[in-house]
Amino acid sequence: MTEGAPLLEMSGIGKRFVGVVALDGVSLSLRGGEVLALMGENGAGKSTLMKVLGGVHRPDTGQIRIDGAPVVLDSVARAKQFGIALIHQELMLAPNLDIAANLFLGNELAALEGRAEPAERRADRVERKARWLAPLPRTRLREQSQRLLGRVGLQLPASTPVSRLTPGQMQLCEIAKALGQNARILIMDEPTSSLTATESEQLFRIILQLKSEGIGIIYISHRMGEVLTLADRITVLRDARHVGDLTRQEASHDKIVSLMVGRQLSSQYFPVRPPRPRREVVLEVADLWVPGAPSGVSFRAHRGEILGLAGLIGSGRTELMQAIFGAVPALSGSLRLEGVAFHPKSPRAAIERGVFLAPEDRKLHGLVLPMSVAENTSLPNIAAYARFGWLDRKAERRVAEEEMKRLNTKASSSAQRVVNLSGGNQQKVVLGKWLAMSPRVLILDEPTRGIDVGAKAEIYRHMAALADAGVCVLMVSSDMEEILGMSDRVVVMHERRLKGVLEREQLSQQALAHLMTGGAGAEVAA
């Protein structure tokens, strides 16, 4: 960390939307060469504050100072002039273009000049507009792109199409793009949410390198281990207010959680579920072979059980669950549901038999964002709300409000659009629409990804209650702590193969890591 005036100061930032106080006098500071973790529950104001800094929203009150001088960030372009780059959780790359085109998209003159376009030269862009009309030299563009890729340790040709990259490689491309714009303040929103352990480690090395170069980094994450390892300081928001700062030396899991939720949470983070006798088999998967897998997979899941599915990203867990839900066709094998043959040709067929899937990407596959909470809740079972050819809106609202109450969903009403809810509350809407239909088998793919600790604890309690009520829960998760804390048994996948099944008494980080990375394990019947 450098001495002297902070690189960035945000003082008394306030922002209101219609009927909502999004930020209430929030302050934040960042020094060059510092990693500042910004933490808080979903809806605490983190994203709004970063959008103010990134020029997306203009604050109603407060002041922003860079290098001690007040600035007005009234547009994204203006924020970029001051070296502010925001890397969103949903990466903003164009998959139909190659790496080089993405790195300089909208900033092509920087490649022509052989360096990132400095802020003082942007003002005369109109005078040089004719240069944009000339053909862009691909050789120069790729040379400059290759230099940026070298800075982030990405050993790929700049001509590689983005559609071929892994999530980790895309994340590094986003960082390279920011460096190409002379970023001095780098905002990273949940950067490891889709990365493997190896990709995360590489990202951490790049962050430390950027820190050594004097770049200030604001790091938003719900993963405590990352924050406690990387952050020099931690700023916590709660209910749109700044509630505290912790240095690396002061910070601990319990202190951070206490600031975030306003109460002690760690003792009840995972619900206590005593061992129970194994009940009857609900779902039997026999040699189910999905596209891209080298062989079939077999396991059984029981009534009232939370069966975890662990594995590294790309291990085939999601594809297997999609085949059970009828979203992708299986090449061979069979399924039995409560002893009866089960051959879902589509998600609708699975839904009719009581098999439901809460997908990994809730925004893309689990919700219709412009629609209301009530409309999303009724959508999978819309026929049940039909009365003489008309939709019974009153019944739709009643059911949605019952599920909102059951799950403690924070929304102004069932008429609120889902797009305006926090990530945790969006996930509760996904769960609510299935709970309203009394599931037999509920598949939860990464159920708490991108969700704060308070919302996680609530979702865990609901999962335990569902299992106690006799629902068979299949939980896909990349979170080792979640797998260990919630699973009665764990099916472990590696490279689309079943590596083993661990009973509750066999579960440990070492045993899971051994099988997840391809270690030998007895492929026992689940």
Asked if 427 and 447 count as a contact pair (C-beta separation under 8 A), the reply is yes
The alpha helices in 419-479, defined as continuous H runs, are 423-435, 453-468
Asked if 356 and 435 count as a contact pair (C-beta separation under 8 A), the reply is no
pLDDT of residue 197: 72
Task: Look up the CATH number of domain 279-354+439-526.
Answer: 3.40.50.300
For 198, 216, 427, 485, the CA distances from 447, given in Å and listed in that order, are 22, 32, 7, 14
Q: How far is residue 224 CA from its own chain's centroid?
A: 15
What pLDDT, in 10s, does the model give residues 402-420?
Answer: 999 988 888 889 999 999 8
What phi and psi, each to the nearest 5 degrees, are found at residue 89?
A: -60, -45
User: Per the confidence metrics, is the pTM higher than 0.75?
Assistant: no
pLDDT of residue 520: 61
pLDDT of residue 126: 45
Spatial separation of the C-alpha atoms in residues 77 and 54, rounded to whole Å: 9
- Kindly list the domain boundaries of the chain, sorted by start residue: 279-354+439-526, 367-429
Token pair for 3: 């001495």
pLDDT of residue 167: 77
Spatial separation of the C-alpha atoms in residues 345 and 349, rounded to whole Å: 6
| Below-50 pLDDT ranges, the chain | 1-2, 115-123, 125-134, 265-268, 522-525
State the sign of the Cα–Cα–Cα–Cα dihedral 23, 29, 33, 37.
negative
